[in-house]
Amino acid sequence: MLTERWGWQALAGIAASSALLDAWMAERSARGIAVAPWRVGLVVLLGLAGWLLLGLYPEPLFAHQLRRGSVVLHARVPLEAKAGSLLEEAVRRLARSPLYDPKAVHHVYLCDTPELFAFFEPLHPNVGGVARWPFGGNVFIRPFDLERGTVIGKAGKEKTGERNLVYFIAHEVTHAMTADAIGRFRYAQLAAFQVEGYADYVAFARAVDFAAGRAALAREDPEMNARRSGLYRRHELLVAWLLERRGLSAAQLLSGPLDARAVEREVLATASP
């Protein structure tokens, strides 16, 4: 998920509270009962506070859990045996990052219905997952199929290919652990290609093909446009270039905002080895 939109989550909570408030006020009005302004404000504040609190402590909704390494997987139904191997693979990918801290616990909540996921991510209910790194770092994943190791997209269509359940867990936890490692304020200042590109770089268990990536970038292939495709291929290419070709460390990559256009020009201007 594009992390620059995190600040709108609180506004989404207000919108949800407002919808409930409208229904309540309509019911009171139909009965001829006046509503004092201070009560309206109180209801809005209580609704927003409840939404934020449940986002921070959602355990009452998720009775079952499984832990591997520093990641705890939560679900509303008993977790199948395969969940253990899927989580182990996600942790293996996370542990490739020098930012991984086995003592820093991260919680991932598997939402088994679109409605439950939309409650935690009301503005963008069709994304595969979300890391609420500004508000505690909890991760929420949309409906899933544990047996097949996939995530179910909008209209009930399964997300195929590399972007499977392991990928979404690793990608979103990378957001959370990076924010923990460098600080939330500094994380919020980074360019989109740094945060999303690094999350994909960690979450994918394969090498980046620089020649193919450079060609796709030069052609402006649709998959290189994150807004249109929903993919972070462009971001991942730039991050891989900085880490593997320029030789930056993860700490240097994430030390401050970088100019994506400048990195792109460098990638395009450099001949293949």
What pLDDT sits at residue 157? 85
pLDDT digits (tens, 9 = 90+) for 97-130: 999 999 999 999 999 999 999 999 988 889 999 9
- Over 70: is that where the pLDDT of 198 sits? yes
pTM for the whole structure? 0.84
What is the predicted pLDDT for the residue at 46? Answer: 75
Q: What percent of the chain has pLDDT over 90?
A: 69
Angle (CA) 231-11-227 rounded to 5° is 15
Tell the residue number behind the tokens 């439950």, with chain if given. Answer: 116
SS (H, E, C) the chain: CCHHHCCHHHHHHHHHHHHHHHHHHHHHHHCCCCCCHHHHHHHHHHHHHHHHHHHHCCHHHCCEEEEECCEEEEECCCCCCHHHHHHHHHHHHHCCCCCCCCCCCEEEEECCCHHHHHHHCCCCCCCCEEEEHHHCCEEEECCEECCCCEEECHHHCECCCCCCHHHHHHHHHHHHHHHHHHCHHHHHHCCHHHHHHHHHHHHCCCCCCHHHHHHHHHHCCHHHCHHHHCCCHHHHHHHHHHHHHCCCCHHHHCCCCCCHHHHHHHHHHCCCC
**From CA 13, how far away is CA 123, in angstroms rounded?**
9
- Quick check: 6 pLDDT over 70? no
Query: What distance in Å separates the CA atoms of residue 97 and residue 245, rounded to the nearest whole number?
Result: 17
The phi and psi torsions of 145 (rounded to 5 degrees) equal: -130, 105
Give CB contacts under 8 A, 24+ apart, made by 80-87: 80/146, 80/147, 82/146, 82/147, 82/149, 83/146, 86/146, 86/149, 86/165, 86/166, 86/169, 87/169
Please give the pLDDT value at position 72. 97
